[in-house]
Structure formats: structure tokens, C-alpha cells
A = this chain, B = another copy of it.
Amino acid sequence: MQHLQQLVIEAIETSQFPETPTNLYDPIRYILTLGGKRVRPVLTLMAAELFGMQEMDEIIPAAKAVEFFHNFSLIHDDLMDKAPLRRGKTTVHEKWDANIAILSGDGLLVKAYEEISKCNPVYLPATLRILSKVAMEVCEGQQLDMDYESRASLSMPEYLEMIRLKTSVLLGGALQLGAILSGANEQQQQLIYDFGENVGLAFQLQDDILDAYGDPDTFGKIVGGDIMINKKTFLLVKLMEVIAEEDVPTMQYLLHSTVESVPTKVEDMLTLYDKYQVREAADELKDIYTQRAFEKMDALDVPNERKEALLLLANNLLVRQQ
């Protein structure tokens, strides 16, 4: 996997873009060199290896397309969410401005399609179809996320569908692209897609759990950050679903407080989480998604030794220090 990661990093970071207009291309160069683990494009290469493809040169454009698409969505999402930082660095709209973030994001989306069109033309209708399907779903997920922000409550099915669209379909799609380009049939493509989508769902639940219960030394973000801003995570949605009448005023009071006005906001909310065992519910659902992912991998019709790398990656993603 490290070898594939190196391939991807080199391909991404040596991508050439025109010099001018600098306000269009500098933000694209900037976001692509902010680093990150490049998990999504690595998944594309790993899926190709899984299905026996040896020529990684043929898969690299699809991997780049996936990473370009992901970074387009980061630029626009950060702008829409007014986020000041991305991977510890200033976001594009802060470093430049909103218009430049809109346009350089647009450019990067076009570049994603430009990359995918370099792939084996035999598979072009299929790869294009998947890229566009995933792209629309990611847009839908981001729109739902924004819509839900202003709503008082959210049902669990709504929450799960939102995270599926916003974060999980791209993991499935990244894998499916590698499968398509290696000649996998549609049934096999569906299995590897489902593996990715379920890993994505489990990962997102883990992210929700870690934000509330993570080790402050290793988590990387401020523990309790989601609670501070009333972010609708699995934990909060679950709490709202199961909370008894008598505790609703306490919850509402906390949701209408800031850590400035109520310094114990995070601990008090965690007390409610504990009382209603929402963490256990999250762990349980995470395990179900993880189990489902492994079942999909199990059903894949390729030699077991070729599955090892992806299983190891999934394990690494899903068993984080807590």
C-alpha cells in the first residue's frame, strides 16, 4: 500500500497546470499540495490490484480524477461552511477570496473529468457514469447537510443517508473506478463499491465517536468540538431520538448555551450521552457497517491473498486509538 501511496502522491504533486491566470491555478496548486493521506486515490489503485491489474499507469488518471474531485469539494465545502482552516492551513477562500474559491473549485472539477477521460476508452462510458453519479450524490449530501443545519431535529434515517451521500459514496466510487478499469464485471464492481460505502459509513460513525470520546493527545482536533457547536452527529441525533421527556429541558438548555456561557457544556452533554448509552449505539452500528464491509469483501471472487491489502487498510482506518 505504501508503494501505491507513493505513486499517487507523486502523480498528484507533479501535476502540471498553466501558469496563468494565477488566481485560477495557484489555488488549485495550493490545495493539491496540502497533503493528506490520499486515501481515496489509493483505493482506486488498490481495487485495480485486487482485480489483477498490474499496469498502474493505466489507473493513475482515474486516481487523480478522484483526488481532484475530492479537493474540488473541499474548496467549495470550506467556502460554504466558512471554515478558516483545512489540514491546519488557511482555506482557499480565506487565503484568496470567495470568488476565487468558487472558480478554482470549478476548474478542479473540470480537471477531474479531464483526467478520467485519459483512461482506457473502452471503459470510458462506465467510468464517466460512476464519476458523475458519485459527484451528484456528494452534492446532494452537502445540500442535505446545509439544509439540516438549520433544522431543530433530524431523524436517524435522514442523518445516515446524509453521511452516506456526503462521505461514503466517494470511497465506494473510488474503488469501483479501479475495478472497472481492471475489467471486473458488474457484480464484482457492486461488491467492491459496497465494501467501500460501508467502510465509509463505519468511518464516519467512528469520527463522530472520537470527536466526543477521543484521546486529546492523539485526536488532532479539539475533543468535544462537535458538541460545542451543536453539530448534528450520530450521537446527538440518537440522543434526540431516545431522550426521556424529563431530560429534554436540560438538553435544550445545553443546545442553547455556548461554552462561554456554560463552561461545563461538553461534560454535561456527555453525561446525557452516557445516561442514554448513545456511544454504545454508535459502536454497535459501526460494527454492523464494518461487518457488512467484510462480508462484501468475502463474497468477492478473487484469491484471498489479493484481498489482504484492502482488509488491512480498512482495519487501520476503523481501529483508531480512542
Give A contacts to B, CB under 8 Å. 18, 21, 23-24, 72, 76, 79-80, 98-100, 102-103, 105-107, 109-111, 113-114, 117, 121, 124-125, 128-129, 131-132, 135-136, 139-140, 142-144, 146-147
Contact = CB atoms under 8 A, between A and B. Distances in A.
B21 A144 contact: yes
A121 B132 contact: no
A16 to B, nearest CB: 13
B124 A103 contact: no
A110 B124 contact: no
Contacts of A107: 136, 139
Given A80-B99, A113-B132, A132-B113, A106 B24 contact: no
A128 B113 contact: yes
22 contacts: A21-B144, A23-B147, A24-B139, A24-B143, A76-B106, A80-B102, A103-B139, A103-B146, A106-B109, A107-B136, A107-B139, A109-B109, A109-B110, A110-B132, A110-B135, A111-B136, A113-B132, A114-B129, A114-B132, A121-B124, A124-B124, A124-B125
Given A76-B103, A102-B76, A146-B23, A139 B110 contact: yes
A37 B279 CA distance: 57
A297 B66 CA distance: 41
Contacts of A76: 102-103, 106
A110 to B, nearest CB: 4
B143 A103 contact: yes
Contacts of A24: 139-140, 143
A103 B142 contact: yes
Question: What are the 8 tightest A-B residue pairs by CB atom distance, in nearest-first order?
Answer: A117-B128, A24-B143, A21-B143, A114-B132, A110-B135, A80-B99, A107-B139, A124-B124
Nearest to A118: B125
Contacts of A128: 113-114, 117, 124, 128
A95 B24 CA distance: 27
A141 to B, nearest CB: 9
Given A109-B109, A144-B21, A129 B102 contact: no
B102 A79 contact: yes
Contacts of A129: 114, 117
Nearest to A69: B110
Contacts of A80: 99, 102-103
Among A72, A79, A142, the one with the most B-chain Cβ atoms within 10 Å of its Cβ is A142
